[in-house]
Amino acid sequence: MQRIILAHGVIAGLIVIGSAILGLVLSGGGETLHAQEWLGYLVMLIALSLIFVGIKRYRDRHLGGVIRFGTATLVGLGIAAVAGVVYVAAWEVYLAATDFAFMDQYANGVIAAKQAEGVTGDELAAITESMESMKRQYANPLFRLPLTFLEIFPVGLLITLISAAILRNSKALPA
**So where are the chain's domains?**
2-100+139-167
By C-alpha distance, which of 100, 106, 95, 90 is closest to 17? 90
**What is the helix (H) or strand (E) element at residue 82, kind and residue range?**
helix 69-97
Per-residue pLDDT of the chain (175 residues; tens, 9 = 90+): 899 999 999 999 999 998 888 877 776 655 455 567 778 888 899 999 999 999 999 999 999 999 999 999 999 999 999 999 999 999 999 999 988 888 888 888 888 888 888 888 888 889 899 999 999 999 999 999 999 999 999 999 999 999 999 999 888 888 7
Cβ-Cβ contacts under 8 Å for 139 (sequence gap 6 or more): 100, 103
The Cα-based distances of 67 to 70, 76, 119, 158, 167 in angstroms read 8, 12, 55, 18, 7
Tell me the C-alpha distance between 54 and 119, whole Å: 48
